[in-house]
Structure 1
Amino acid sequence: MKAKRIIGRLLAAVMAMSIISGVSTRNAYADSFKVVTLGADLSAKQKEDMLKYFGVNKDDANVIEVTNEEEVKYLGEAASKEQIGTKAISCSYVEPTSKDGLNISVNNISWVTESMIKNALITAGIKNANVKVGAPFKVSGTAALTGILKGFENSSGGKKIDENKKKVANEELVVTGKLGDKIGKDEAAKLINEVKKDVIKKKPKTEEEIEKIVVNITNNYGQKFSEEDIKSITTLMKKINGLNLDFKQLKDQLNGVAKSLKDKLNSEETQGFFSKIWNAIKSFFTNLFSIESNNVEVNFAIEQGNVQEYKTIRVCSL
């Protein structure tokens, strides 16, 4: 009898565990590594459209909402009410990975760039993830980072992020964006990355030492930065310095961002240079042969580094 009672209790326990397991399975997401955050103020149709854009549905991803109150919580000290807005619109797709770094893409985001987001995520302590940011219509994207970080925390592949790191990362995004309005977004991201790298590496002990780093680096950019610019960068870097980030752990990430920005800026500069030359040549020959009808073949050389590339243009003026 005693044996029967023991067996009966064991069977009851197994059945109970099976029921709990069944309920848990039904409520779990098929792939909780993937998280989509949706702006709480979007319409039902807009939310469905964003899920389609991210290529997921509610059955294969953890879908959560981000409110305007959450955005204000992390951006309130860095951005104005006008910049934050009164509605939560930005959406994000977050998939933490074990390698390949941070892969960022944006759509319908006008003020925040991939490089700005990547820089801020490094500050927040995220190393590997696939991230997409979007909206159903054009928005600044100021609050995008709030959704990304919430998404990361709510993924089974993510982890809880220090609240202070969240606020500093959001402030970094805003400071970079404001500088970008003056010197260009990629140039601003490059500058902030460079200053941050130096601050994390040297771990200055005073605000004066931080400001010296800021001034030394900004002087290399050929731009006239205002006292307010220097102060905002210094204040940001003081907060980043207070996070006690490990340079050895972040070195490769910071160098990777620097390299990609340098390549992008060099490419843009080269394209702009040749575009100006081409437009000048077209304008010259259009004006030169505007009176008579001629077919003229012109050879000219463009020097690229130590190599001269010869081009032939046939100008037809009718």
Structure 2
Amino acid sequence: MKKLFCFAGALALAVGVFAGRTATVKAADTTWQPVATLGVSLTDAQRSGTLSTLEKAAGLSSPTTLTVNGSTLVKYLNPSGSTFTANSGVWSSALVQKTSTGGINVTIVPYDGKNNITTITEDQYRNAAVTAGVTNANLFITSATPIDGSGALAGVYAAFAENGETLDASQINAAQDEVDTLSKITDANKDKDGYSDKLLNNAVAGMKSDMASQSNSGSQTLSQNQIGNIVDSQLEKNNLGTIINNNQRTQIINLLVTIQKSGALQSSGFKQQAEKLADSIQDSAKSLFSDLKTKLNSEDTRNFLQKIWDAIVDFFTSLWNWVVAQFN
């Protein structure tokens, strides 16, 4: 009988224990002259129209103008594997406005009502800019004809050099690798349910922030396995764990290894810019990330409750086996 009372007491105790359980345009930095980078292949009419389109979007007039030609592409893009020549055409253009705060904001501006940037997305431009070492800037991108948008990105790098801020070549190369990698992954997954370029770029921005934190801003080198764990964590957080295949996962890991080798993690403000980028991406698509959070929370709740139930079953199974053993 005493043993039965012990069992009842343990049962009651166990029951009691378990029952208790936005693109936002920021103010300009007046010490930095805004620069409009215009593709060399534009006709006179297109050049005028492009400049007007960019000025109107940025809300300013008379920026410094800079022509981007094939040699500009060779200088900034070829070291990462592109094959431009001095005779390559350039149509995509940019207006770069430095700001004192606010992170990196990108607006792809329609030309005559049409978005002619066919490959690089706003968030891909932003992630590339973070990797290249750009901090706090409004970037306006447009093209008079359909084009991938590489010329505009080379123009961004050239605009910083025009203002005396030459970006690190290794980081620019890593940024170009990033644009190529992310655009290919987005193209491969664009028709898959649950995939979004915003989710991928948010995940990559999170990966950069995590890498900066875990490496103490680049003072320690992360192993490929550590980077792989960061990639897996951010893909899961963005519900891309089952969408991104193993080959694409490897591409992302290799990209982050390249970014680490470029010295980007050691750049002043890299972690902060990556965090601001992630926050901004989420703010620009609140419904998307709200639905994602709800889904993940429901999965977490279900997993948590399942673990509790498994623990209860295991506890009482063990307790019952103990009681039975006492009477045998």
TM-score by length of 1: 0.64
Alpha-carbon RMSD across the aligned residues, in angstroms, is 3.1
Listed as ranges, the gaps of 5+ residues in structure 2 are: 1-30, 110-114, 190-194, 216-220, 292-328
Match of 1:139 among 142, 147, 151: 147
Change (3 A) 1:75 1:215: farther
Identity over aligned pairs, percent: 25
Aligned positions of 1:99-114 closer than 5 A: 99-107=101-109, 108=115, 109-114=117-122
Q: Distance in 2 between matches of 1:43 and 1:103?
A: 28
Cα offset, 1:199, TM superposition: 1.8
* Residue number in structure 2 paired with 1:39: 39
Question: Is 166-175 or 199-208 further displaced after alignment?
Answer: 199-208
Cα offset, 1:100, TM superposition: 3.4
Aligned positions of 1:43-192 closer than 5 A: 43-55=43-55, 60-76=62-78, 86-107=88-109, 108=115, 109-155=117-163, 158-181=164-187, 182=189, 183-192=195-204
Match of 2:207 among 195, 215, 234: 195
TM-score by length of 2: 0.63
Match of 1:212 among 229, 243, 246: 229
Cα offset, 1:91, TM superposition: 0.3
Question: Is 244-253 or 209-218 further displaced after alignment?
Answer: 244-253
Higher share of residues assigned strand: 1
Higher relative contact order (CA 8 A, sep 6+): 2
Per the alignment, in what secondary structure is the counterpart of residue 139 of structure 1?
coil
Q: Which amino acid aligns with 1:174?
A: D
The answer to whether the 8 A contact 2:36-2:63 is kept is yes
The answer to whether the 8 A contact 2:76-2:157 is kept is no
Change (3 A) 1:264 1:53: closer
Listed as ranges, the gaps of 5+ residues in structure 1 are: 1-30, 272-318
Cα offset, 1:265, TM superposition: 3.6
CA offsets 1:219-269 (integer angstroms, 9 cap, x no match) = 442433233212221111012112332487333322222122223344247
The answer to whether the 8 A contact 1:35-1:93 is kept is yes
Cα offset, 1:193, TM superposition: 0.9
Q: Distance in 2 between matches of 1:212 and 1:222?
A: 12
CA offsets 1:105-155 (integer angstroms, 9 cap, x no match) = 112223222222222212222212222111113322234211111112112
